[in-house]
Amino acid sequence: MINSDYQKLLTRFCADLLTVERRSALTVDTYKGCIHNFLSWCQKSDPPIVLSQITVEDVMYFITWCRTKTKGTDELTIAKDISALRSFGTFLVREGIWKENFPLLVDRPRTKRALPRVLSVEQIEELLSVIDTTTTLGLRDRALFELVYSSGLRIGEVCSLLLQNLHMKERILWVRGKGDKERLVPFGPEAHKWLSEWLTEGRPKLVGSRLVPTLFVNYKGSPLSRKGVWKRFQELEAKTGIQAKVHTLRHSFATHLLAGGADLRSVQELLGHSDLATTQIYTHIDNEQLRQYHSDYFPSHGSRHKESNE
């Protein structure tokens, strides 16, 4: 628990992230947890460390403490903590509490980016086919997951999708993504089919006469939460035995587009990536799959190739 002054400062920092830095709510929550730990560490140190007198050595001691406190803390988590501290430092300099942003002097560890998991078209069809569309919630789930795969949406984007931003005739979505960036995304005929059924047969039963702005709602007729989507998808995993996450549908969307001949820039726009390098990871997935297929069907050739390289 941090004292009231630190709590007020943390609240101001979070508000600054949202309004000035235009960070997403998820990023704010992540940074809030890290900075809460940092302020608590300062307060509990012996003697307590005064925030205005922090040095770069103190920041490094905190990072070391984070590593030792949680055994197995990976490099990615440490990198995120340093990013949070850097944002906090920017805020404190602007507030006149720090003269310089000390965390900028601490190097972030280089993290090896793992290739995201991708499902085949057949696996996606199997996942979606086990949804019981004779029920209202099943109809919603089929429409929702079809749309995520058809448009490559993030889970937060599909949960916050407004009715007014769905254009059924044109088969176009107006999506608000990370950093409040907006983009137009098309969706396919299969998603259109299930959305039509959800809008005419499912949603009215849950919403009734109330005015609910979001496209997808829960069993109470209220906006559907991220947790609710995760829970429903886990049920599909259990039924099929296919290990995946909701975000895997987005990864699969991008990879299948590129494999089908779509150009990288177009996929970047559809996904809402600000950096093309982020989209390029899906080209590596495709290459990795090709290598795996080759290894499976020509194992002896693969071993000879390895021996010749050695």
SS3 category, 57: helix
Q: 21 near 87, Cβ under 8 Å?
A: yes
282 is catalytic: yes
DSSP letter assigned to residue 108: P
Q: Determine which one of 203, 232, 256, 273 is catalytic.
A: 273
Task: Report in angstroms the alpha-carbon separations of 134 from 98, 193, 197, 209.
Answer: 60, 15, 11, 23
Give the Cα separation of 63 and 80 in Å (integer): 11
Q: What is the Cα Rg of the chain in Å?
A: 24
**Residue count (the chain):** 310
Q: Please say if 178 is a catalytic residue.
A: yes
Active-site residue among 140, 142, 232, 250?
A: 250
Give me the helix-helix angle, 121-129 and 246-259, nearest 10°.
Answer: 140
Preceding omega of 299 cis (within 30 degrees of 0): no
Q: Which of 140, 154, 232, 256 is catalytic?
A: 154
Which one of the listed residues 32, 36, 176, 178 is annotated catalytic? 178
Q: How far is CA 119 from CA 41, 96, 244, 288, in A?
A: 43, 50, 8, 13
Residue identified by tokens 């709590």 is 7
User: Considering 108, 176, 239, 247, which one is annotated as catalytic?
Assistant: 247
- The question of whether 250 is a catalytic residue gets the answer yes
Give φ, ψ of 216 to 5 degrees: -105, 135
- What amino acid positions are annotated as catalytic residues? 154, 178, 247, 250, 273, 282
